[in-house]
Structure formats: C-alpha cells, structure tokens
A = this chain, B = another copy of it.
Amino acid sequence: MGTAQLTAVPEPKYWHLRTVLLRAIDSEFATGEVIPNERDLSARFGVARATLRQALDQLELEGRLVRRRGIGTLVAAPRVGVPVSRREEGWPGGGPEQSWQTVDCAIAPATEQLAAALNVPVGETVYTVRRVRLNQGQTVATESLHVPDSALASLPEIRSAGSGADEGRAVLRRLERLTVDGESRAVELGVAEADEAALLQRPPGTPVLVVTTQFASGGKLAALAVATYRADTCRLTFGETGLVEVTPVAGTVRTAS
C-alpha cells in the first residue's frame, strides 16, 4: 500500500476548523476555562455559525469541550484512566476503596437472547444486578451483571432482607464464593440506552464504551457483565503487568511525528 492514498480523502471544512480550534484551546485556555461564545468564535475564524457548531459538537464528542447550560462552553478536564480488571469488579465488594454501588436486582426468566448469551435454557431464572461505578464522586459507568440460577445454585444461600439493592448485594456476596477460572473481555463503541443514560445522568444516545465480560467457572459460563463507560470522560486501562503505568498520552501525540 503506497502513501499516495494519504491525500485521497478530502478534509471537510468543519474538520479543518476543529483542528485549528483544538490548537487554540491547547495554547490559550486552561482546563475549566470558558471559551468565547459562538458569535465571537465565528467572527475570529471567519466561518459560518453552522460550521463552527459542527466543529464544537465534534470537540464535545471527543471530550475536549463541555457545554454547561447558563455558563457556556468550557475546556474539559483530561479523561480519567479507569482500570478494568477483575480486582476492580468489586466482588467481594465493601471496603473503603469500593467504587461500585448496587442499584437494584431483577429476577426474571431468561429471554431467548439472554439465554443464548448465557448458554442456558430459555426461561431459566436469571438474576440481573445493576450497579454504577463512581470515580471521584462522578458516575463513570453502569453495569448489568447477569447470573443464571444454575451458577448460583452451587453457592451457599444468603437471604436478602429486602428487595432491589439488598437483593443485588446478596447475589454479589454469593458470587464471592465462586471460583473464577478465567474471563474474557470485549470492548466496543455503543450509545447509552434510556435506562443506562439515566443512571449516567446523560442524555440517551451519549457515546459509551461497552465492556462485555464473560466469567467462567468449572469450564462453564457463570456470569456475564455488560458495562457501559462514559466515552467522553473515561479511558479504560488494562495493566497486564505492574512494570509500566500507562500515562495519559495527549491526543496530539498521534499526529506529533
């Protein structure tokens, strides 16, 4: 593959403006600072308001700008590195470093789709525990943890005093006893559905990173976690060794060389 292709795709106007704006933001404004309003910006850069708005939308999507009603458009804080690993899943749960909070628990027969995903018969009882993950006081993720009754059956019973969050915590305490042999993960781009968006306190359709984790026990799938992380504020970190820490790499390094 030659490099002749490099100029084959034309650069849209808003995209050029986005790159120019990004450079201006990096050099002239600090995190949390309010940038000039749309009228001033379109005058300064000599562009139509529609083009400017498209560039600002883009930078908001990239997590570089935040719009606050009644305040204006602010330079966003850098994304927070959020470790993704079993240690971080919060089973056992409890302890001061605990970052997951249990919201509720639904107990229902497996639908066709869920049965296929969990590899259990349609109609088997499935516990779905919903949790939110907090990072520095902000909700960064929401998760649905699906556990089929057959996986829980071998574990000591823990009676829940009430329902909802109590029931969910009882399921998580039972899972503490599960011997997890392995897990595999997938990450993809998604959008927050209405209920996820509500828990993330964002509008539906907000871009999220969907992390699907399968937990195996005794060679069988024992639990399936589907977590949605806010894509505007989070970078997911996977440290496979303790040797090197991933330090934030500014987006501009990608084009720096």
> Interface residues, chain A, CB within 8 Å of chain B?
1, 3, 5-9, 11-12, 14-15, 18, 58, 61-63, 79, 81, 101, 103-104, 106, 108, 110-111, 113-114, 117, 126, 128, 132, 144, 146, 164-165, 181-191, 193-199, 201-205, 207, 209-210, 212, 214, 216, 219, 221, 224, 226, 228, 231-232, 234-247, 249-257
Query: In the docked arrangement, what's the CA distance between A228 and B197, Å?
Result: 26
Interface centre among A198, A204, A255, A257 (most CB of B within 10 A): A257
Within 8 Å by CB of A254, from B181, B196, B236, B239, lies B196
Interface centre among A128, A146, A186 (most CB of B within 10 A): A186
Query: In the docked arrangement, what's the CA distance between A193 and B237, Å?
Result: 22
Across the interface, do B12 and A184 meet the contact criterion of CB distance under 8 Å? no
Closest approach, in angstroms, between the C-beta of A19 and any C-beta of chain B?
8
Across the interface, do A246 and B185 meet the contact criterion of CB distance under 8 Å? yes
Known A164-B3, A237-B186, A254-B144; contact A11-B194, beta-carbon cutoff 8 A = yes
Closest approach, in angstroms, between the C-beta of A48 and any C-beta of chain B?
18
The chain B residue sitting closest to A236, CB to CB, is B187
Across the interface, do A210 and B113 meet the contact criterion of CB distance under 8 Å? no
Across the interface, do A244 and B231 meet the contact criterion of CB distance under 8 Å? no
6 A–B pairs (Cβ distance < 8 Å), ordered by A: A9-B201, A11-B204, A62-B189, A182-B243, A190-B251, A224-B249
Query: In the docked arrangement, what's the CA distance between A101 and B3, Å?
Result: 13
Query: In the docked arrangement, what's the CA distance between A249 and B216, Å?
Result: 16
Across the interface, do B255 and A193 meet the contact criterion of CB distance under 8 Å? yes
Across the interface, do B188 and A216 meet the contact criterion of CB distance under 8 Å? no
Residues of B near A199 (CB, < 8 A) are 1, 5-6
Residues of B near A117 (CB, < 8 A) are 247, 249-250, 253
Across the interface, do B238 and A216 meet the contact criterion of CB distance under 8 Å? no
Known A9-B194, A15-B194, A195-B6; contact A111-B256, beta-carbon cutoff 8 A = yes
Query: In the docked arrangement, what's the CA distance between A254 and B12, Å?
Result: 35
Across the interface, do A191 and B253 meet the contact criterion of CB distance under 8 Å? no
Query: In the docked arrangement, what's the CA distance between A110 and B253, Å?
Result: 11
Query: In the docked arrangement, what's the CA distance between A106 and B201, Å?
Result: 44
